[in-house]
């Protein structure tokens, strides 16, 4: 791929994201062949969007999430300000094709972690964390058959980022808890329960956060102070429909809600 083809791919993805439409594939000369190609397209997507990047998401941190999008490991994507909502918000449903929601742990950074040769340790990463939030992610793809596209294409597609709900700040006791064994339950319309646990997120949400830092470092990017990192779903992605009401219970760490518009 060339810089021009990176930008062409990004423009096509952005156009379909804005229009709520889908493509079968990127043109042959604009199809990312590697993860590096995918991240280059994603960077152009962010630039063309004109939106502020408020942080990062990690896709496919659980076996269920990997199966859902047809990959065998995690992918990083950018969170755009215009697609971030507050706790209790009503979100547009629109043409969302994935039609799932995920309950997640999201960290906000106190200090930047710039690229370096050696991997960051989990302790180094956690020492740079300001706070933990509860979160909901509503992913989507601009590909008609996202499960067959593979990692480079899905990275270019912003790791299936779409809408995100930043919930309340968790009490500081989160630092003393074993987040791997911490249970999370998402409930749809007061009755449809979807239990999960932190271990579904690469074994531990803190491991996922460390993975993200090192993934960014490997492509020459800094995780900035103030940025959010939502670490992936604790539950099997739960199916949603227009009009659904959502609540997520993170036990002693708190609760949050959202709902979807009727259309």
Q: Is 95 helix (H, G, I), strand (E, B) or coil?
A: coil
Model pLDDT, residue 225: 98
Q: What single DSSP character describes residue 120?
A: P
* Listed range (30-34, 45-49, 63-67) with the worst mean pLDDT: 63-67
Domain positions in the chain: 52-260
**35-51: per-residue pLDDT in tens?**
999 999 999 999 999 99
- Smallest Cα–Cα separation from 13: which of 139, 147, 155, 150? 155
The number of beta carbons lying within 10 Å of the beta carbon of residue 31 is 19
CB 67 within 8 A of CB 96: no
Q: How far apart are CA 14 and CA 111, in angstroms?
A: 31
Model pLDDT, residue 12: 96
Q: What is the CATH number of domain 52-260?
A: 3.90.850.10
Judge whether residue 1 has pLDDT over 90.
Answer: no
Model pLDDT, residue 80: 98
Model pLDDT, residue 63: 80
* Residue 70 banded pLDDT, cuts 50, 70, 90: confident
pTM of this prediction?
Answer: 0.96
What does the radius of gyration of the chain's CA atoms come to, in whole angstroms?
Answer: 17
* Residue 139 banded pLDDT, cuts 50, 70, 90: very high
Judge whether residue 105 has pLDDT over 80.
Answer: yes
């Amino acid at each position: 791929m060339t810089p021009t083809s990176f930008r062409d791919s990004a423009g096509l993805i952005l156009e379909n994201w804005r229009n709520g439409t889908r493509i079968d594939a990127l043109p042959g000369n604009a199809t990312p062949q590697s993860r590096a190609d995918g991240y280059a397209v994603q960077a152009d997507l962010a630039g063309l969007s004109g939106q502020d990047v408020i942080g990062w998401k990690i896709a496919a941190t659980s076996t269920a999430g990997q199966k859902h999008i047809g990959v065998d490991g995690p992918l990083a994507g950018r969170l755009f300000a215009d697609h971030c909502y507050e706790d209790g918000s009503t979100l547009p449903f629109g043409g969302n094709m994935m039609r799932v929601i995920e309950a997640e742990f999201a960290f906000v950074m106190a200090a930047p972690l710039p690229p370096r040769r050696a991997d960051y340790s989990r302790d180094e990463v956690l020492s740079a964390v300001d706070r933990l939030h509860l979160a909901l992610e509503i992913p989507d793809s601009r590909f008609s058959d996202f499960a067959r596209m593979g990692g480079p294409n899905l990275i270019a597609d912003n790791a299936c980022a779409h809408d995100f709900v930043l919930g309340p700040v968790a009490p500081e006791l989160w630092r003393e808890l074993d987040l791997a064994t911490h249970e999370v339950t998402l409930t749809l319309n007061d009755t449809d329960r979807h239990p999960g646990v932190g271990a579904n997120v690469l074994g531990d949400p803190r491991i996922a956060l460390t993975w993200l830092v090192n993934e960014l470092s490997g492509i020459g990017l800094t995780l900035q102070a103030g940025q959010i990192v939502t670490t992936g779903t604790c539950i099997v992605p739960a199916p949603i429909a227009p009009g659904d009401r959502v609540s997520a219970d993170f036990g002693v760490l708190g609760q949050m809600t959202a709902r979807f518009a009727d259309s």
